[in-house]
């Protein structure tokens, strides 16, 4: 997963980053506290990549991510990801999670079961904690048992996860009011 370039782009939740190589996207970064920190994170994650204007396919992917984060429906499943450096189990987790539609959720245990590995919920959680492609791999749509939010490693933690689910119109535990009072 060698990145040749990266770029920042504006979204409803802040400046995100996107990195690409010869075989597709190699990473997406949800916003840090500010644009400078997002840029610094991208430089740490992709030290050989130059900040540059993205090629058309990457610009289109960034536009679709921005649209998703402002509430438009898009599953982003057709965006090409370069997972050449991702361990096999994590690839399986990411492919399973990519199939979760906007507004829908699964639990870590349900993902593990869909992979044919019941009892691997913690391993699923660890894989999603290392997700280099959020929100294209929509780890925010995976919850802990009993509808609890579970963790989220992006800036803002669980509040960001819940805000992303709110933007998508998700219901947790069938309760429409779960997001009341949440401010972005």
Hey, which residues are catalytic here? 139
SS3 114: helix
Cis status of the peptide bond prior to 37, with omega within 30 of 0: no
The closest alpha carbon to 17, from 168, 3, 126, belongs to: 3
Distance CA 153, CA 33 (A): 13
Contacts of 130 (CB under 8 A, 6+ apart): 90
Residue 131 DSSP class = -
Query: Looking at the DSSP assignment, which residues form a beta bridge with residue 97?
Result: none
Query: Looking at the DSSP assignment, which residues form a beta bridge with residue 107?
Result: 143
For the beta sheet containing 5-11, the strands, ordered from the edge strand earlier in sequence to the opposite edge, are 24-29, 14-21, 5-11, 50-51
The closest alpha carbon to 163, from 149, 145, 175, belongs to: 149
């Amino acid at each position: 997963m060698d990145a040749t370039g990266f770029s920042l782009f504006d979204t409803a939740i802040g400046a995100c980053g996107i990195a690409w190589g010869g075989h597709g996207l190699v990473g997406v970064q949800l916003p840090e506290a500010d644009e400078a920190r997002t840029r610094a994170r991208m430089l740490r994650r992709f030290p050989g990549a130059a900040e540059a204007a993205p090629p058309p396919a990457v610009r289109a992917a960034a536009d679709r991510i921005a649209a998703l984060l402002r509430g438009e429906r898009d599953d982003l499943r057709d965006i090409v990801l370069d997972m050449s450096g991702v361990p096999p189990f994590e690839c399986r987790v990411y492919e399973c999670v990519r199939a979760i539609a906007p507004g829908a959720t699964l639990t870590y245990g349900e993902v593990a079961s869909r992979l044919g590995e019941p009892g691997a919920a913690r391993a699923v959680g660890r894989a999603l904690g290392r997700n280099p492609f959020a929100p294209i791999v929509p780890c925010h749509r995976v919850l802990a048992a009993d509808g609890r939010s579970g963790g989220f490693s992006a800036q803002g933690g669980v509040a960001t996860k819940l805000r992303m689910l709110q933007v998508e119109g998700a219901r947790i535990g069938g309760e429409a009011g779960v997001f009341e009072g949440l401010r972005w």
